[in-house]
Structure 1
Amino acid sequence: MLVVHGVPTVGGAVALWAEDSELPARLDRRRAKGPVAHPFAVPAEDLVERLSLRQAGTDVLTLLLPSYASAPSSSPELVRDPLTAGPAPRGRLRLLPWSVPVVICDRVPELADCRLGASVRFLGRVAEFAEELASRGMVVPAVEDGPTARWRPLLTGAPAARFAALREAMPPVCRSEQPGRAPEEVLSASLDALVDGVVRERLSGIRLSDGGNAVESWLAALTGEPGFEADPEQVHALREHLEHWRAGGAPVSPVRACFRLRSPDQGDEEHWQLEFLLQAADDPSVLVSAAEVWREHGGVLRRWVADPEELLLADLGRASRLYPGLESALREAHPTGLELDAEGAYEFLTHSALLDQAGFGVLLPSWWGRSGELGLKLTASSRGTAGAVSKEDGFGLDALVDYRWDLALGDERLSESELADLAAAKVPLVRVRGQWVQVDQKRLAAGLAFLERAGEGRMPAAEVLLQAGLHPRDSELPMPVTEVSGDGWLGDLLSGRLEARLDPVEPPEGFTATLRPYQRRGLAWLAFLDRLGLGACLADDMGLGKTVQLLALEVLRRRGPTLLICPMSVVGNWQREAARFAPGLSVHVHHGSSRLGGADLVEAAAEHDIVITTYALATRDADALGEVEWDRVVLDEAQNIKNSSSRQSQVIRRLPARHRVALTGTPVENRLAELWSIMDFANPGMLGSVHTFRARFAVPVERDGDADAAERLRRITGPFVLRRLKTDPAIIDDLPDKIELKQLCNLTAEQASLYQAVVDDMLRRIGESDGMERRGLVLATMSKLKQVCNHPAQFLGDGSRLAGRSGKLARLEEILEEVLADGDKALCFTQFAEFGGMLVPHLSARFDTEVLYLHGGTPKRARDAMVRRFQERGGPSIFVLSLKAGGTGLTLTGANHVIHLDRWWNPAVEDQATDRAFRIGQRRDVQVRKLTCIGTLEERIDRMIEDKKALAQLVVGAGENWLTELSNRELRDLLTLSGEAVGE
């Protein structure tokens, strides 16, 4: 059972209550009669609706919460709107009881457009821990008063450390109902309840017993109703048996027995040493040999345990149940170790995992389970090289290549004589070339038979690449594959650094941009994979020029139409970048109610080099787009297909094309399955099914931190994913100090409707006005149109929701998502203080992070504190500032991204704001983005400024007054909304 209460909010009522001098006394009088209702809590019925909980109970709890005399303190995660909230309560904080409505549910709810509080996030971590304990079988049955059957967690070893970490991380609010209870008690009760629920859910439908005596009734209650009836004496006996059974497991002790196996010296094949030691459980580096334990009677270990000698003998006795070879040592009065031969050493090595799982320390030779493993080596041969591949050679994942299998020790191929010696070995451990290796005679025989049967031949190149990343358990071969190598273009793919092996490509004729060295290398990589027909994922960091590299490829290798799918917010950006850098390319935008379909679309695609559309339309018009013979399909912001099970992802991955390219700055945002979806688009089937991928890579890497699985995944995907960061040494020298980018955004239909209404109203009224009235009307209209371009809610001032209604806000969220994913910081400037106040709570909830906000009403002390916190390492990553208040006089070099949300028509003002980050003390390159709505006055005035940049100060002046002098016709041309402005 989970209990969720509404997060307290702070509004104008706080200021009113804080000014009421009689309120504290009235509250105290009311509190004397019982807890006071929390003034800001969300009603339980609203919570049920907001959380979409179909089956949920409601109740009221009394919580002790940090409070002022007049009101409870706001939640730490709460974002106060500094423009509307008024002053915060003052006075001394103390714990006071409040009556809070709650919802009782059976799961941790998923909240949309809400920022989760620390307590809900913590509860989610506890629930994940409970699931993991149940999955690993770290649970035991118990009987409690009632009598009641329960499942309880078994907290030994790593789970005990995890429990301790959760206990230390528990937010104080989790104990607000019963503040006298220790964190450990609260966490234990919560974890017990969650574990019991998880196990019962997994055992649903299983009947362990039909009842009878106490034991049978208890077994039935473990999967049915927890309560059962039985004779009290039988229940007491059952409880004692269970406690004795649990005590037979690994005891909780600060010291444990440890076993260390030492290999023989060179030339000695028989004398292995198994040493007994005692090891500190919380600091494995503290080791005391058994000889010292007996000689010093425990010595330093007595700081942890009263009788080390007795503990050593007891642990040896328990360990002998798992590894019977220890029984001979127990016949000695003071055992210190064992001498083993090769066969005995192998027996201990095969039992070591059991000892480790049972909680004993195990120290094995470094070669065990590592590079000295006997395995298969695959060598493949393909014709052609990275720089010269022809159709006649045969290339691509389906191309057949020559291969040869060999048996190898690590990276070294074994000779026939060495193989004969291994086959003749009588023991499982054999020293070969100075290394000890485990020889499974049955597997060795199977390996030799495999070489005779399929040692040489031809196979598809895709199979070679797959073998490079297969885990031995996933392979159908008799032995693990320890190395895969090749020559020609296949060798280039297997090299691990394909980009570095290619000569940079000069920009093609007709391409007007100047490519930096790393971009020319990226172009060479794209062109190489294009010649092979292999898909590519260009995952360069934000701001490194993925767009220009792709456009250069389009100019370099034109064979047929390219379908470019991107978010609506960047359609205009692609149009203009193509016109600017590749003017020879013909571009068609597939969008709008009058978009083409059927034969008309096929004909139009054949007449153009690039067809641009959006993810939503590509999904909706998949059948029509599928009729076109696309040479290439490109996905910009490819993370839009990260959910492989969504219809959008499935439809887009099925679009036919000779070549596929994915562009994304965040190939993995939350889970590795997102990478599978992108790679399955680029090279379908290369990573197998999504279920196979999860089992082979996602679960081992995400759950267990398996470095080997991560390395195998890199080997498979490495040739097809190019990821360069701004921090890479090879990139830093290529970059300018400041990168300025225009981010063109589309309007939503709602924005377009409001925009047109404002323009029509002005044009109707302007003919009847002149002088100061006309100037005031023009300036007011400009301000309104800017607000519309920002967000309808800003223009309407109705406090409505922000999500999904503004193309500019959508682009801002995309940019900030990449900024946060890279661990960077950003300044967001707006000339409208009220818009900044609206953005702060929205962005805070959207990214679950604190967002700072500085405006003209911010007191100096608060202003200085915000600047200091933003500059600190680990401080907030997003800082929203009003242009007037934050545009000058601040040093904010903690940010390396500057975003201008709305345009100020004097470039000098924007430059001054940019210089808050781009100034002395800045050690990183600064990326500056200016968000501009396509087809609106924002884009047209920006174009006018660019055309007259040299005279900008003279022509444009210090503000927008120059606009008031335009004629009625010029104003109409300037303000009229173009057809391309509207997004989806």
Structure 2
Amino acid sequence: MSDFVKSLAQSAAQIDKVASGSLYPHQSDGVAFLLSKRRVILADDMGLGKTRQAIVAMEVGAPSGKILVVCPASLKLNWKREIQLVDPEASVEVLGVDRETPDDARWIVLNYDILGKHAERLHGVNWSGVILDEAHFIRNASQRTNHCLKLLGVQAEARAPVLGPDFVFLLTGTPMTNRPKDLFNLLRCVGHPSARSFLSYAKRYCDAYRNDYGWVTTGASNLDELNLLLKEVSIRRKKEDVLDLPPKIRSWVPVDISGSAAAFNAVESFVTWYSGTDPSKPNDTEFLARLTKVRTALHKAKQKAVEERIRDVVASGEKVVVFTCFSEGIERHKAKLGDTAITITGADTAEKRIAAVDRFQQDETVKVALCNIIAGGVGITLTAGTHVIFQDLDWVPANHAQAEDRCYRLGQTRQVTVEYFTADGTLDGYIATLLDQKMKLIAAVEAEELPDTSILREIQDGLRRLAPALMEEARAARATGDVAQRIEKLAAAQPRATADTSPLGETGQWEFTSSRDPSARYLVTFGRAGHLECTCQGFAYRGNCKHVREVRGKIFDE
């Protein structure tokens, strides 16, 4: 972080109100950053206490107004608990859970799924602050995204000013879950000018191109610039940088499925069908149905190996967390483990989920947590466990990262072992390698230090070897266009060099002379949320320009 940005954090008003000793040092820095920026993405690693930082910052920055928290349904009661840990006297209403609601509650907590149901009430409140937890939930266009944008004062007109709450905090340990397009709505929520036009953004950072069906925006380009842009309105710390945590060991465990005729038949059937399809005429419905049969068969083929590993871990006196994509596996494990295991699935109520977490954390007779990778992968703490097993692989690396860190977070005092069980030589192998390449892409965008210029070439080389898996994923996501062409464009997108000199101002203002009209001057300054703005016409239309890019490089690339 540059000295200029550090000074913004240090100058946050009222930070002295935070009780001494109530926060870790990195959390105090985070609170100061939130207060100084006001509209910001808090992108700390999972387990660094984003919830606590956001609550404290709201208590300090907006001590008398109403605060809205929007989060996944499974986290609503956890938010109420955390709020009352910071302020035991806080008045909190949890929509959809509380039967008796407090009069004129200061904190309102609800989940994304019921935003529409309570829209009239919510949009009629003059919120002092809004927190979106697991903010990557709004990365795609949807009704809930539209409700969130309206609550945050983001107007439909591209160049209209952002109105709404004084404080807006977006919390997510995985701001870019898959591709650069995932960041667009998050940047829009915090009022970053680069998010005024999706097409302009996509051309710059998503390697956008047109085919017969429209614009394809699933690629990546100018990653070094996107890395710097994100630093204007976000703060991200990694565990290894701020905590003295024990190590996390990750390994891939190949499973011999030669004894599973069903798995081999499913794979053979899929390959035979797939090799005979016409890529120009994809049948997504049939493709997804056949692909699901393969993944289900592989899941079942690995069941016995996972059962044996669970027994080994429990016999050593440790607790283990098992993640799977299929409910059938959870039910079969539970039937064998009985009361020594708890389950966390999407069908559980918030109360049941909290009770299950508490049992795993506090009851010595409970040795195993059986979790759906989505439902059990966010917003809960399972630090009693020291061993994590993935029976299945998800397409999205962020889902694995979130799930791993249920154990590897604040409060963990022992080494955490993470094992991915894969049916070697099958679809699992493709997914595993693809996940590794995606993680490199995400790391390039979110890195504190800019990546080496060879990073895109390395990613491209890996992706080229994964053409079959890429085509499968593209079809599964209903993507269009030539995947090979997208890979070639990614390979050609080398990081852009930053100018050696630029007219930097000591007061946070930078002046440029127009290349067309020497008498014209353009001024680059910091905007409301700490992002850079320019007075030139290019910036007015696109929310980005060469002057801003040059200043951004000088400030944040230090």
Q: Return the TM-score normalized by structure 1.
A: 0.25
